[in-house]
Structure 1
Amino acid sequence: MNTKHRYITGFDGIRTIAVLGVIFYHLFPNTIKGGYLGVPVFFVISGYLIVDLLRQEWESNQKIHLKAFYFRRIKRLYPALIGLLVLCASYITLFQRNLLNNLRGVVFSSLLYFNNYWQIDNKLSYFDRFHNPDPFTHLWSLSVEAQNYLVLPILLVLFYKLGRKKDRVAGIFLLGSLASAIWMAIQFKPGVDPTAVYDGTFSRSFSMWLGASLAIFWPSNHLRASISKKAEKTLNRAGWLALLAIILSFFTLSAQSNFLYYGGMYIVSLFAAILVAVTAHPGADFNRYLSNPIFNYIGKRSYGIYLYQFPIMIFYESAVKNINHRLWLHTLIEIALILVMSELSYRLIEAPCRRYDYSQLPVRFKQWVKLPAYAWKKMVCVPLAIVFAVALFGIFTAPANQKNDAQKAFEANIAKNKKAADATKNTDGSTEVMHATNEIADKYHLTDTQLLKAQQMNITMIGDSVMLGTVEEMKEVFPNVVLDADIGRQLYSAKKTINELKKKKLLADTIVIGLGTNGVYTEEDFQNMMKAIGSKRKVYLINVYVPTQRWQGDVNRFLESMAQKYKNITLIDWYDEAKEHEDWFEEDETHLKDNGQVGYVAFIAQNVLK
């Protein structure tokens, strides 16, 4: 039996796979649609490692020094997090002041590790990157991890002091993980934004608790290197199966999939636990398979990579505007920036702070004070002090839940349009037909015959904030329209909306769908929507013009394929029309000015009335 702690290099390989999944999910959300599952893989590793180390400490000393453990965790995690928050706060203060709102809340909730609940409380959607371009969205996971770092060691000490046997302790952690997964399934509501379930501590702790259970059941220092060939083959096959299952999930399991919340994420965590177990075993080959210079390099920097990937994407894509022009070039630049920043974080912050003897800090500070003013150790502090000062200024002067005039005007307009859209649901489908006028026909480039047909037509429109902004113009052309649109709406809620309209007998035989501004489509959600609509209704799909978001091309290609697949679907190519009229759009290059609203309605009407 080996009682000395063994550094398992293969875990860096697992971290590499996990962090690459997360990055490519954010860069290619329609291709690596399950890359976010790198987070539960991280959680399993973390749960295994901390409990495995604490278990070894108990075996050696019959006690666990909790204060020393917490200090080690803070020493490992805090410096890089502080560096990220300071740099981002400085950048926002100087260059992207539209993100200043609630900066103080973000910083303090991140430092105190309750950012996940801060985001939930402030109704920030993890899944809506268009209306919530928050560079700190990803920090929810650090809070879930830190909260478990607080609880798991205390529970372990308690179990040991109560004399619980190894199998019973492992079983308790396993039951806790099952309870967490069941809670996720209970809390999840199909058709509703799942952020509260996705970010919640108890609904996301199952991965770490699985790792904790594994650490008791499969202790790294009790595993024998000498095992039978049959056992070695079995372990290696289990490792390959788990690795392939995780990679497959990265490509197939959408974050909007109902299956994910009804056990899918737990199954992925189980595969991650199998991969961790096989990699930890010295008798298997997986530690060697997952140990190479590239994996070792990325794995050691995975924390910094995870910290910087999302802010860099948000800041860079806000500066570039049309990210879809030379998308691959922009993607390579973003990856390069992430690697540079994570390397700087590792070299200048993480590695030095991890090795630093903080008991020497008072002595070192006195020595630093006595240095000449022009000494390089003092000179290098000048730019650092300026960056800190700018960050602190931004943090402490940032408004909380405050809206500027443009935001207030936008929200007032949305509220007015929402009221007008809701009023369309009170129609009985027998609005008095207006006489076609040259003025309206000319305004929307319609013939008198087309306008008369439009005014007699019963039509239902379902969309997001782009469509919502055109409600008055839609009513002018289609007086019998039932328009159900909302800010931030995505495809996963379409089935619920359609069923509600059907129940109220407001779903016409002609339906126009305008979704996709806020995120990617999934085939499962699309099939659910079409099943709710039925095959006898005529459906018009409006594709998207959202040049600031990288999912524009993915959404439009998907809609084109669905229009070919379903006989009752016609595609309205809004993208092709919109790109020729840049003067139609607001500053965000997606929402419409007055002339754009007219152009949008005219284009929809011309396609529907063909």
Structure 2
Amino acid sequence: MTTVAAAPVELDTSTAPRFPALDALRAVGALAVLTTHVAFWSGDYGRHGFWGTLLSRLDVGVAVFFVLSGFLLSRPYLARAAVALPRPSTRSYLWRRLLRITPVYVVAAVLALLLIEDNADLGVGAWVTTLLMGNTFVDPLPPDGLTHMWSLAVEVCFYLLLPLLMLAATGRGRRLSTPRVVAVLAAMSAVTVWWHLHGADWADTWTGGATGQWLPGYLTWFAAGIGLALVHVLATRGGVTAARLLAPGRQAGACWALAGGLLLVAATPLAGPTVLVAPTTTESLTKNLLYTAIGLLLVLPGVMADERSGFGRAFGHPVARRLGLVSYSLFAFHLLVLHGVMAVMDWPIFGGHGPQILVLALVGSLVAAEVGYRLLEVPAMRLKRLVPPRRTRAEPTEATTATNGTSAR
């Protein structure tokens, strides 16, 4: 098949490139996580055989989050290295990440610690550990209402590690070297394989934390996003091989169908038991690698989305993008809402009522998400100007070969 070059566009080297369809994809991840938690609480995991197991595998939404983070946060480093511009300001980057994560997390944590009865006896030490997002490092389980925050702790660890990873991948003041970046991605993947097979068990011997929920076990998901960012930058600069690698992203239906097929495989015993039974090391690694592929297949069409296509129109719709904008608050508050639904309706855990719980939890979480976004996220992000990004010389316009019809805004 002959690769046809698209119209030339300028390589976007900004610290916040725009990929509109990816906004809505965040909502897909958040809604998947909400649905799998509802299915667990209602007992539908074990009540519906294979389909119950499939519901349990909707925790793949976390893999979507991590692939997205890997892509969006690494791309500015790789794009700037490709045109020999200075690296993004680490100080500004960390400040923005702090503003993005902290307000919503702190409010969700305080509400969970204050309102959920099973947290009433927690002391000052537990409060401090929770507010510092340190539960997974010292406790086997976080406080009730915050059990999903392990993934946010992994995200924060990745945020802190990323500047070092990008330094290793791009060096200081050097042109982008594909073999060097690939070597870093290979090292990240090797760490994850080792962690699942040996590392987590080794760490269990000297910590009381949940080692299976530490960053080393999920570096493959972030590496998939970084690898996608590398290929996208190379393709945007005219790389024919990179463009061919991205080409399947124009067929969103095929990518998502393949992701669905892999999710069905993940719902088999190959990826381990559903709940309450620890998987073997091989099962754990198999699930991780399947989720890596699923996350990549779901994100790729969002990167390549043509606004005129059916996929681009659906994911670029204002409602879909709004759901994406409030998805972090939706993720953060949905377990609190779920606790409230179960308490108000006086439904026991594992007692059924799955569809009813899903509707009530979804409506309540969307309301909480909108409030959280308006009152916490928007005001916090206005403070980002306090630590502005580093100013550099104006970049020359560079005509390159695009992989789609529009530039990344």
TM-score normalised by L of structure 1: 0.50
- The 5 A counterparts of 1:342-357 are 342-356=369-383
8 A contact 1:33–1:250 mirrored in 2: no
- The 5 A counterparts of 1:137-176 are 137-161=147-171, 163=174, 165-176=177-188
Task: Report whether the alignment pairs 1:21 with 2:32.
Answer: yes
Equivalent of residue 84 in structure 1, options 99, 102, 108 = 108
CA deviation profile, 1:422-476 (whole Å, cap 9, x unmatched): xxxxxxxxxxxxxxxxxxxxxxxxxxxxxxxxxxxxxxxxxxxxxxxxxxxxxxx
Identical-pair percentage:
19
- The 5 A counterparts of 1:470-489 are none
Equivalent of residue 240 in structure 1, options 233, 239, 253 = 253
What residue number does 1:8 align with? 19
Q: Give the Å deviation of 1:248.
A: 4.9
Equivalent of residue 341 in structure 2, options 309, 316, 319 = 316
Q: Give the Å deviation of 1:207.
A: 0.6
What residue number does 2:318 align with? 293
* Equivalent AA in structure 2 for residue 142 of structure 1: L
Equivalent of residue 38 in structure 1, options 61, 65, 73 = 61
What residue number does 1:550 align with? none
Q: Give the Å deviation of 1:82.
A: 1.9
CA deviation profile, 1:386-442 (whole Å, cap 9, x unmatched): xxxxxxxxxxxxxxxxxxxxxxxxxxxxxxxxxxxxxxxxxxxxxxxxxxxxxxxxx
d(CA) in 2 for partners of 1:87 and 1:123? Answer: 21
d(CA) in 2 for partners of 1:169 and 1:233? Answer: 21
Q: 1:14/1:249 Cα in 2 relative to 1: closer, same or farther (>3 Å)?
A: farther
Q: 1:241/1:114 Cα in 2 relative to 1: closer, same or farther (>3 Å)?
A: farther
* Equivalent AA in structure 2 for residue 123 of structure 1: P
CA deviation profile, 1:113-152 (whole Å, cap 9, x unmatched): 433223xxx232x8xxxxxx72111111111111111112
What residue number does 2:94 align with? 70
Q: Give the Å deviation of 1:64.
A: 2.8
* Equivalent AA in structure 2 for residue 205 of structure 1: L
Q: 1:276/1:109 Cα in 2 relative to 1: closer, same or farther (>3 Å)?
A: same
Which segments of 5 or more consecutive residues in structure 1 lack a partner in the other structure? 127-132, 361-610
Equivalent of residue 329 in structure 1, options 333, 356, 365 = 356
Q: 1:9/1:110 Cα in 2 relative to 1: closer, same or farther (>3 Å)?
A: farther
8 A contact 2:231–2:245 mirrored in 1: no
* Equivalent AA in structure 1 for residue 10 of structure 2: N
* Equivalent AA in structure 2 for residue 350 of structure 1: E
Q: Give the Å deviation of 1:203.
A: 1.3
* Equivalent AA in structure 2 for residue 2 of structure 1: E
d(CA) in 2 for partners of 1:63 and 1:231? Answer: 26
8 A contact 1:110–1:139 mirrored in 2: no
Q: Give the Å deviation of 1:202.
A: 0.9
Task: Report whether the alignment pairs 1:338 with 2:350.
Answer: no
Equivalent of residue 109 in structure 1, options 124, 129, 132 = 129
Secondary structure at the residue paired with 1:61? coil
CA deviation profile, 1:328-374 (whole Å, cap 9, x unmatched): 334322221111111100111112221246649xxxxxxxxxxxxxx
d(CA) in 1 for partners of 2:86 and 2:246? Answer: 33
The structure carrying a bigger helix percent of its residues is 2
What residue number does 1:123 align with? 140
8 A contact 1:141–1:199 mirrored in 2: yes
* Equivalent AA in structure 1 for residue 322 of structure 2: Y
Secondary structure at the residue paired with 1:28? helix
Secondary structure at the residue paired with 1:212? helix
Q: Give the Å deviation of 1:80.
A: 1.3
d(CA) in 2 for partners of 1:253 and 1:350? Answer: 35
Equivalent of residue 269 in structure 1, options 285, 288, 292 = 292
- The 5 A counterparts of 1:470-549 are none
Alignment length (residue pairs): 340
Q: 1:87/1:154 Cα in 2 relative to 1: closer, same or farther (>3 Å)?
A: same
Q: Give the Å deviation of 1:74.
A: 0.7
Q: 1:289/1:315 Cα in 2 relative to 1: closer, same or farther (>3 Å)?
A: closer
Secondary structure at the residue paired with 1:322? coil
Q: Give the Å deviation of 1:212.
A: 1.8
Secondary structure at the residue paired with 1:218? helix
CA deviation profile, 1:184-234 (whole Å, cap 9, x unmatched): 134578xx9xx945312211222112212322232288267x99x999974
What residue number does 1:522 align with? none
d(CA) in 2 for partners of 1:233 and 1:62? Answer: 30
d(CA) in 1 for partners of 2:235 and 2:104? Answer: 30
* Equivalent AA in structure 1 for residue 97 of structure 2: R
Bigger relative contact order, structure 1 or 2, given CA contacts below 8 A and separation 6+?
2
* Equivalent AA in structure 2 for residue 338 of structure 1: S
* Equivalent AA in structure 2 for residue 3 of structure 1: L
Q: 1:233/1:207 Cα in 2 relative to 1: closer, same or farther (>3 Å)?
A: closer
d(CA) in 1 for partners of 2:23 and 2:283? Answer: 26
- The 5 A counterparts of 1:384-533 are none
What residue number does 1:136 align with? 146
Task: Report whether the alignment pairs 1:209 with 2:223.
Answer: yes
d(CA) in 2 for partners of 1:232 and 1:113? Answer: 37
d(CA) in 2 for partners of 1:320 and 1:104? Answer: 32
8 A contact 1:177–1:210 mirrored in 2: no
* Equivalent AA in structure 1 for residue 197 of structure 2: A
d(CA) in 2 for partners of 1:60 and 1:105? Answer: 47
8 A contact 1:106–1:136 mirrored in 2: no
8 A contact 2:165–2:184 mirrored in 1: no
Greater Rg, structure 1 or structure 2?
1
- The RMSD of aligned alpha carbons is 3.5
d(CA) in 1 for partners of 2:221 and 2:244? Answer: 29
Farther off after superposition, 179-188 or 14-23: 179-188
TM-score normalised by L of structure 2: 0.71
Q: 1:87/1:11 Cα in 2 relative to 1: closer, same or farther (>3 Å)?
A: same
Q: Give the Å deviation of 1:314.
A: 2.6
d(CA) in 1 for partners of 2:164 and 2:222? Answer: 15
